[in-house]
Structure 1
Amino acid sequence: MIFEKSIIETMKKRQSVRNFDIKNIEDSHVERIKDYISNEDNLVGPFGSKGRIEFIQVTNNVSDKGIKLGTYGFIKNPQAYLAGLAENSKYSLVEFAYTFQKLVLWLTELEIGTCWMGGTFNRNSFEQEIQLAEGEFIPCITPIGYPNQKQRVFDKALRYVVKADNKKPWDKLFYDSTFEVPLIKENAGLFELPIEMVRLGPSASNKQPWRLLLTQDKRVCHFYIEHTPNYSSKLGYDMQLLDMGIAMCQFELACKELDIKGGWSVDKPDLLLPNEQTGYIASWETL
């Protein structure tokens, strides 16, 4: 296991960091990050798809190659970027986000700040920095560095503006046996905490598109996506699929910590869906 602390506690405390200290990332941390992203085992999703992650050191947002890396919004003093590369297909995106979120949580454990960015950066500038293989594109990046503790008030205010802490309640996200019955915590059994970790996870524009349905026997948890119409259509890929990979990562890591044994499958159940925006992604079944 790559984590040394409680992953559930790390998931609870992790927040996006947009304002970084001017201190360079320590050489020992840089080495550990490079080792992590060069280990193929860390880059393989639950169904076998493998993405790629590149480390880019920057000074005043300029890379060692002299390329100005553009981000839009409130990102201050990033010391480096981690850029993700994957194929633009449904499960490649889901699985890539699963592995990227695991990296984000590992960095959180090291007290290195991160901020998922899917649409608010200049892809062209990053594509100049990285040699893309055929069929690859950059679905997301994260700036990294040590959080600027003196600017916590600024970050807190920004979180309020973007409604980052306004998480939907259980009865809007999770279901019991059918989509007509909201799931309450008391009926979630062993899955109460893993499902809560999904609820607390980050998502693009805090849309929280995940919809989980727990079967009557409480052994299988089906993961669905409820798309926000036209969201990210101008970007040329379905950004909300990344949110589903994040949700799966949060859920599985919580299950592992709680010793709930199980695994993922893609076996679409015959269920009446609540609307045309909702689609099936995957299922977790206890062993």
Structure 2
Amino acid sequence: MTTTQSMIDTMRKRKSIRTFEERALEHSDVSQIREYINNPQNLIGPFGGNGKIEWIPVTKNVTDQGIKLGTYGFIKNPSSYLVGITQNNKYSLVEYAYIFHKLVLYVTGLDIGTCWMGGTFNRTSFEKEISLGIDEFIPCITPIGYPKEKGRMFDIALRYVVKADNKKPWEKLFYDGNFQIPLTKEKAGILETPIEMVRIGPSASNKQPWRLVLSEDRKQCHFYIEHTPNYSSSLGYDMQLLDMGIAMCQFELACQELNISGDWKIEEQTKPVPNENVEYIVSWKIDS
């Protein structure tokens, strides 16, 4: 990805790709991705943690069992997989997803296809390929490869099934000062585009669990999660926390492009929440 390429445009064009061309990645693309994941600066999260991402080329012992993706069908002809590793606690999952999504967007900027996979892949197959530390696990992976044009109808059909393009409107996700007043685009000020990038971001089963409350002085944007009860409980971790990391990544990268300086802070919140499933995660504070 060139330094002049718009990250906002990249976020808008990113789609989940499941059908790839039957060819290896070009050497230049491989070099750029490896250089990215080997640079520690690229793997620092919003709370100062360090991410761990592995590159796994497609080999016989990984693909023998087909890596079935449930209702998503099969990933077809991936060149490689990018695999993330973290610990199973709230802020580790949020931070990890932020780091992993930055990589997904970087790869998208190289015109390489990706597909977030959290609960619909054969974890055991991938765990055999990497070294896991104590209390570490693989929360998600992405296949990568060049999108196959003739496979687009397959991907479009799957997007329809999972309602991937059916995003909730602003008034269902974003709020003005408190949870009683919906936020409109017109009143979002300089944060309109960063908030819109949150809205269009990917999420597990397109649940869009993020809820944002913009402060009355427009200096803070508070990020909450509205948990879907029992979602991903069979997996042993809260997959929707990954969605919050994705939302933070989309929001911050848009702010950076628009020269809106700020930082993430975890603060005590006293605002009443609309129901027991809503939980505070973090706040973005614009620099004075």
- For the aligned pair, the TM-score class normalised by the smaller chain equals over 0.9
Look up the match of 1:212.
212
Partner of 2:243: 243
* 1:281 to partner: Cα distance: 0.4
Aligned partner of 2:231 in structure 1 is 231
One-letter amino acid of the counterpart of residue 7, structure 1: M
SS in 2 for 1:178: coil
| Aligned-pair CA distance for 1:34 | 1.3
Q: Is the 8 A contact 2:67 2:75 kept in 1?
A: no
How far did 1:67 drift? 7.0
Contact (CA 8 Å) 1:197, 1:254: kept in 2 or not? yes
Q: CA RMSD in A?
A: 1.5
Q: Secondary structure at the match of 2:113?
A: coil
**Does residue 1:174 correspond to 2:174, yes or no?**
yes
Mapped partners of 2:240, 2:104: distance in 1: 18
What residue in structure 2 maps to residue 152 of structure 1? 152
1:71 aligns with 2:68: yes
Task: Give the conservation status (yes or no) of the 8 Å contact 1:268–1:282.
Answer: no
Gap regions ≥5 residues in structure 1: none
CA distance in 1, matches of 2:16, 2:67: 18
Alignment check: 8 A CA contact 1:87 1:135 kept: yes
Q: Structure 2 vs 1, CA of residues 251 and 119 (structure 1 numbering), >3 Å: closer, same or farther?
A: same
CA gap 1:134/1:208 in 2 versus in 1, 3 angstroms? same
Residues 99, 2 of structure 1: alpha-carbon distance in 2 compared, 3 angstrom cutoff: farther
CA distance in 2, matches of 1:133, 1:190: 42
2: distance between equivalents of 1:53 and 1:69? Answer: 22
Distance 2:130 2:39 in 1: 19
Change beyond 3 A, Cα 1:135–1:267: same
Structure 2 residue matching 1:244: 3-state secondary structure:
helix
Q: Compared with structure 1, are the counterparts of its residues 170 and 136 closer, same or farther at alpha carbon in structure 2 (3 Å cutoff)?
A: same
**Structure-2 change in CA distance of 1:130 and 1:71 (3 Å):** farther
Residue matched to 1:14: 14
Counterparts in 2 of 1:281 and 1:236: CA distance versus 1, 3 Å: same
Answer whether contact 1:112 1:144 (CA < 8 A) is retained. Answer: yes
CA contact (8 A) 1:98 1:248 kept: yes
Output the TM-score relative to the length of structure 2: 0.95
TM-score by length of structure 1 reads: 0.96
5+ residue gaps, structure 2, are none
> What aligned pairs does 1:96-115 form with structure 2 within 5 A after superposition?
96-115=96-115
Do 1:51 and 1:86's aligned partners in 2 also have CA atoms closer than 8 Å? yes
Deviations along 1:96-153, one digit per CA (max 9) or x if unpaired, are 1001110000001000000000000011111111111112100000000000011212
Give SS of 1:181's match. Answer: coil
**1:117-132 equivalence runs, <5 A:** 117-132=117-132
Structure-2 separation of matches of 1:51 and 1:259: 25
Shift of 1:215: 0.4
Aligned residues: 284
Matches within 5 A, 1:133-152: 133-152=133-152
Deviations along 1:175-232, one digit per CA (max 9) or x if unpaired, are: 0001000001111001000000000000000000000000000110000000000000
C-alpha distance in 1 between matches for 2:2 and 2:268: 31
Could you say if the C-alpha distance between residues 95 and 144 of structure 1 is closer, same or farther in structure 2, counting changes exceeding 3 Å? same
CA distance in 2, matches of 1:134, 1:39: 23
Q: CA deviation at 1:70?
A: 2.2
How far off its partner does 1:40 sit?
1.2
Contact 1:2 1:106 in 2 (8 A): no
Name the CA distance, whole Å, in 2 between partners of 1:2 and 1:227.
Answer: 37
